[in-house]
Structure 1
Amino acid sequence: MRYQTLPKSLYIRNREKLIKKLPKHALAIFHANDILPTNADGTMRFRQNNDLFYLTGIDQEETILVLCPDFPKREYREVLFVRKTDEHIAVWEGHKLTKEEAIECSGVGRVEWTDRFDNILPMLMALSEEVFLNTNEHLRASVQVETRDARFINYCRDRYPLHTYRRVAPLMHQLRAVKEPEELAQLQLACDITEAGFRRILQFVKPGVKEFELEAEFLHEFVRRGSKGFAYEPIIASGSNACVLHYIDNDQVCRDGDLILFDVGAEYGNYNADMTRTIPVNGKFTKRQREVYDAVLRVQRTAFDMLRPGVIIQDYHQEMGLVMQAELKSLGLISTQDIESQDPQWPAYKKYFMHGTSHHLGLDVHDVGTIYDPIQEGMVFTVEPGIYIPEEGFGIRLENNIVIQRDGYLDLMKHIPIEAEEIEALMQAGN
């Protein structure tokens, strides 16, 4: 395996936390993601269902976890089902987990082959009253394909129509939002790999380089350090491309005098970094670029100090809007009249800063976690203010990942260059 796995004690602890939230005589079932097709006989790379991974550490297709904590026989209170392997699979696809390896990885005491699931499920259903099934309930999710979880929900309702079915997603959102120390260590590794990629880029950028060449440099550094690659589609946006928030073409030439906005992050062990930096193609910010850059950096540092336990993220976003409003006014981008006549549903500052400042981070880049409950110690957030000025041909965003602590925060990207002077010095040293 290319990444260092986390100890089974983490997954045992995670399951215990979920079990404490389940009512008496409950049954909870989690399925692996499907391997999705491309064309002909091609498939996409497998990506595990994050809830299943959070509870087991198993990174293999056709896996099922069943939790039935009040079942009379202890050996059926936790059962993990993994894909049965044979010589043919070993030759064509490679090694699959043995039962012993699955036990060692997950800490689940009873492991069966997946083809035994249909034999064991009726016994568990017979003594269960409420059945907790999994769905993707992320606020930004747009699910247009039928998942393995969705197919199983239909199967259960058809075969066992008189059971009470419940949503397990709200419970998983609560649990996954607060990270355990082992998870924070994995996130730190993802951030460290991202740092290595960025430092490599600072030595490589020069006028005339293509955006996709920079993408390749990041990918090379990420993979050589044990990452599967990018945590999400990378944004390498030079010049006015940076004013397109989700620009992913990455096919333009970086011109002398322009800025490049990098929104990239490495994945490590299924945990994700999410970094944004903006640098000058020629290694030197212009006076105007520097004015805007410093304004974005000030907003980010204010945001660091505002993210605290007890804060409601929605309130925080409103406050950050006012902070950005003041900076935009000082830059001459909006006026007092613009503010006084603004639409309350779309404030004047949104012309140049149209997205939120922070989101949860973890196994998903936009990780699960409610945005209406108070922030808690142990949550991880991005902090990513930006100013985008199409009429001036550039946009600047800066993004770090921080852990909320009792009396402050831990910046997982504190060693990644962000001060304008340091970036200029590193770029000039490389050229």
Structure 2
Amino acid sequence: MRHLPIKSELFVENRAKLKQLLPENSLAILHSNDVLPTNADGTFKVVPNADLFYLTGIEQEESILLLFPDAYEEKNREILFLREPTELMQIWEGQKLTKEEATEVSGVSSIRWLSEFPAVLRDLMISAEQVFLNQNEHRRASNLVETRDDRFVKQCKEEFPLHTYRRLAPMLHALRAEKSELEVELIRHACGITKKGFERLLKFVKPGVTEFEVEAELAHEFIRNRGAFAYTPIIASGKNACGLHYIDNDQVCNDGDLLLLDVASNYANYNSDLTRTIPVNGKFTPRQRDVYNAVLRVMKQSIAGAVVGKSHRDWQYEAQEMINEELLGLGLLTKEEVAKHTRETPACKKYFMHGLGHSIGIDVHDVALPNVPFAPGWVLTVEPGIYLPDEGFAVRIENDIVVTENGPVDLMGDIPVEADEIEALMAEGK
């Protein structure tokens, strides 16, 4: 666990919210993610299951959470099952959670070893009237690889075919969309680490450096501040920036080019998401500055427009209309093209083809119900862009915000973004 301990009250509160949504005499069960293989006997680093972490703070493999709020015995209302830390296991794999440590992290008082799970499951399944099981229901998930949750769904239905099974994901999506103050602070901390990485870059970038050297500077700053890349970094110079998910990061940054940086840190499994576009030589050309300022105006107006009650669909449409006007001023669209703009066929699509933003939290593209309007506690990215492959560059700018009753709060408002500010900081580096 690289991050500092998180107050267990966060996870206690999250479980309490879920229990309030469960119907009477319901049992809910969640599993950790698998340890995924690479090649030979290799494995990827463990990635905590976002839902299990949200409810427990537990990051250890093979863990199981069982919630049965109406169980007759209080000890069975919340149970966390863990691998028993044998001496041999700890020699080969390192330290594993004791029961006392698991309680300290999660706030769950009833901790049991995995070997006890089958008997406890049978006892409580017989008492439950309906069972809530979890699966990855993110709308953009591929779901090609079977998860521990997926296998458990099959197991339950085979062993207990007469039970009523229901989906847990919709409840968790609704809960996770609205971040608590503690969660916002964790995201804000991740934003602070990201700021340090970006400011380091401004003093490092110059003609002749490679994209992977830039990536290395970020890795150094993030890791030494207890963070890590929130997602695979995009370090895209020149025309590379016109590929939305360019991640090769292997080219030289040339004099006169722009460098698009879609890079951010996470902290304690909570993510930030930043994009900045900077001039490799420290000075925007007049054309680059015009496009940059156009995108910046749209970002600022879109941040202001992210208010309680706004639908994501309407928010996106407003940004497209603003981009249309900017493209008109840049000579990239005609008045006739703008007049034909509709939701289905936006005039700006050639130059701005992606969404304005997304929910962010434990997942970078965090779960949130798409048909639900913005509510207090929603944390969103705001990332307009203009892509000009014919001119050999693109500009995207992105900040993270939290929606509140008193208007949006920019969690990255202290990270340099004005063109003059970026040029001044880059000049200091020289």
Look up the match of 2:398: 399
1:367 corresponding residue in structure 2: 366
Return the letter of the residue paired with 1:354. M
User: Counterpart of 1:193?
Assistant: 193
The one-letter amino acid of 1:271's match is Y
Deviations 1:67-87 (A, max 9, x none): 001111111011000111111
- 2: CA distance between counterparts of 1:343 and 1:124? 54
Hey, what does 1:42 align to over in structure 2?
42
The residue number in structure 2 matching 1:7 is 7
Report the CA distance shift for 1:344/1:69 in structure 2 as closer, same or farther (over 3 A).
closer
| Match in the other structure for 2:290 | 291
1:310 aligns with 2:309: yes
Cα pair 2:317 2:343 within 8 Å, conserved: no
The aligned counterpart of 2:415 is 416
Which residue pairs with 1:244 in the alignment? 243
SS in 2 for 1:201: helix
Provide the rounded CA distance (Å) in 1 between the counterparts of 2:343 and 2:200: 44
Counterpart position of 1:269: 268
Aligned to 2:386: 387
Does residue 223 of structure 1 match 2:223? yes
Paired with 2:274 and 2:206, the residues of 1 have a C-alpha distance of 21
1:88-107 mapped onto 2 (5 Å cutoff) = 88-107=88-107
- Letter aligned with residue 351 of structure 1: K
**Deviations for 1:389-417, whole angstroms, at most 9, x for unmatched residues?**
01100000000000111111221111110
Q: Secondary structure at the match of 1:36?
A: coil
SS at structure 2 position matched to 1:349:
coil
Q: Do the aligned partners of 2:65 and 2:80 also contact (CA within 8 Å) in 1?
A: yes
Structure 2: gaps of 5 or more residues: none
Corresponding position of 2:85: 85
Partner of 1:405, secondary structure, is coil
Q: In 1, distance between residues paired with 2:165 and 2:347?
A: 46
| Shift of residue 10, structure 1, vs aligned partner | 1.0
Aligned to 1:355: 354
In structure 1, stretches of 5+ residues that fail to align are none
Paired residues in the alignment total 430
- 2:399 touches 2:411 (CA, 8 Å); kept in 1? yes
Cα drift, residue 27 of structure 1: 0.4
Superposed displacement of residue 342, structure 1 = 5.6
Tell me, what secondary structure is at the counterpart of 2:229? Answer: coil
Report the counterpart of residue 123 of structure 2 in structure 1: 123
Q: What are the superposed Cα offsets for residues 219-243 of structure 1, whole Å, 9 maximum, x if unpaired?
A: 011001111x211010000000010
Q: Deviations over 1:46-73 (max 9, x none)?
A: 0110000000001110100000011111
In the TM superposition, residue 345 of structure 1 has moved relative to its aligned partner by: 2.4
**How big is the shift at 1:88?**
1.1
- The residue that corresponds to 1:169 in the other structure is 169
Percent of residue pairs bearing the same amino acid type: 55
Structure 1 runs, 4 residues or longer, greater than 6 Å off: none
Cα offsets for 1:271-326 (capped at 9, x unmatched) = 00100000000000000000000000000010011100111111111111111111
Alignment of 1:130-149 (within 5 A): 130-149=130-149
1:277 counterpart letter in structure 2: R
The two structures have a TM-score, normalised by structure 1, of 0.98
Q: Which amino acid aligns with 2:21?
A: K
- CA deviation profile, 1:132-168 (whole Å, cap 9, x unmatched): 0001111111111110000000000111111111000
**Where does residue 328 of structure 2 map in the other structure?**
329
Mapped partners of 2:47, 2:343: distance in 1: 41
SS at match of 2:303: helix
- Spell out, residue by residue over 1:359-403, the C-alpha distance to the aligned partner (whole angstroms, 9 max, x if none): 001000000011211110111000000000011000000000001
Residue aligned with 2:282, SS: coil
How far off its partner does 1:7 sit?
A: 0.8
Q: 1:188-210, CA deviations, whole angstroms, 9 ceiling, x for partnerless residues?
A: 11111111010110111010100
Q: Separation in 2 of the partners of 1:340 and 1:363?
A: 41
1:230-270 Cα distance to aligned partner (Å, 9 max, x none): 11010000000010000001011000000000001101100
Letter in 2 for 1:204: F
- Distance in 1 (CA, whole Å) between partners of 2:392 and 2:223 is 33
Residue pairs, 1:18-33, within 5 angstroms:
18-33=18-33
Shift of 1:344: 5.4
Q: Which amino acid aligns with 2:181?
A: P
Structure 2 counterpart SS, 1:348:
coil
The answer as to 2:179 corresponding to 1:179 is: yes
- Whole-Å separation in 1 of the counterparts to 2:69 and 2:164: 17
Shift of 1:338: 2.0
Identify the range of structure 1 (252-261 vs 408-417) with the bigger mean alpha-carbon deviation: 408-417
Partner of 2:64: 64
The equivalent residue for 1:301 is: 300
Q: In the alignment, residue 69 of structure 2 is paired with which amino acid?
A: P
Tell me how large the CA RMSD over aligned residues is: 0.9
* 2:32/2:63 contact within 8 Å kept: yes
